[in-house]
A and B are shown apart, each in its own frame.
Chain A
């Protein structure tokens, strides 16, 4: 059963709009991640948070900003989306001491027209 919940499943928007994606995990993990998966299925880590603290911030455009209210929630906001932002955004969680064993949500598919 799913224990990492992402909303929405799909989102279609136009260039220049702002979007927000939500992620919640019920596994009791203390570390959460955002990955971007492109149309060729390539996965790239974007951000990682441990107990609400940013610990990984890969080279992503500044229009992307993660937001964490507590260790069970990690949202992603994109200001002024671009066509190249079209992708599936995957949220994941883990224990900090076991960062290789990730539990993923089903993803949010973003289409930018």
Chain B
């Protein structure tokens, strides 16, 4: 069974600084990988996804993530954060082989962007 670990429950960065949110997954093959974001009092929204090909995938609002198979990681990055990026970020994984692709979420990382 697949699993996802986000080691940082909370991250605080200054506005304009760069950001990396960590994600490690456990899966025997090459999974599908995702980052979702949850703004306050809202549901989750898809930021970006990786299926295959270029290991660096671009998402909305300047976010990108890099799939590193040797490290079983899919870290999320942004060059310069804005206060509106404050939210909870979820990494997720699903298998590529099952007929029903059950999405498994990590524990989430709460991002606070301070002035």
Query: Given B43, B49, B101, which contacts A4 in the complex, CB threshold below 8 Å?
Result: B43
A92 interface contact, C-beta 8 A: yes
Verify if A27 is at the interface (C-beta below 8 Å from B): no
CA gap between A92 and B44 in the complex, in Å: 9
Cβ–Cβ contact B42 & A41, under 8 A: no
Q: Known pairs A99-B103, A104-B44, A105-B43; list 10 more (Cβ under 8 Å).
A: A41-B107, A43-B108, A56-B100, A56-B102, A90-B43, A92-B43, A99-B94, A102-B44, A102-B103, A106-B41
Tell me if B88 counts as interface (CB < 8 A to partner A).
yes
Please, which residues of chain B bring their CB within 8 A of the CB of A40?
107
B52 within 8 A of A: no
- In the assembled complex, the CB of B106 is this many whole angstroms from the nearest CB of chain A, namely 9
Grouping DSSP codes into helix (H, G, I), strand (E, B) and loop, the B interface class, with mixed when no group exceeds half, is strand
Interface size class of B (residues with CB under 8 A): 20 to 34
In this assembly, does A15 line the interface, its C-beta being within 8 Å of a C-beta of chain B?
no
Identify B107's interface contact among A42, A48, A90, A106, CB under 8 A. Answer: A42
- Of B43, B107, B108, most A-chain CB atoms within 10 Å: B43
- Is the pair B43, A107 in contact by a Cβ cutoff of 8 Å? yes
Report the contact-size class of chain A (Cβ under 8 Å from the partner).
20 to 34
Bound complex: CA A87 to CA B41 (Å): 13
Give the residues from 81 to 113 in chain A that come closer than 8 angstroms, CB to CB, to chain B: 90-92, 99-107
A-B contact pairs, 28 of them (CB 8 A): A40-B107, A42-B105, A42-B107, A43-B90, A43-B105, A43-B108, A48-B100, A56-B102, A90-B44, A92-B43, A92-B44, A99-B102, A99-B103, A100-B32, A100-B49, A100-B103, A101-B46, A101-B49, A102-B36, A102-B103, A104-B42, A104-B43, A104-B44, A105-B43, A106-B41, A106-B43, A107-B41, A107-B42
| Interchain pairs with CB closer than 8 A, number | 55
Using Cβ atoms and an 8 Å threshold, which residues of chain A touch B46?
101-102
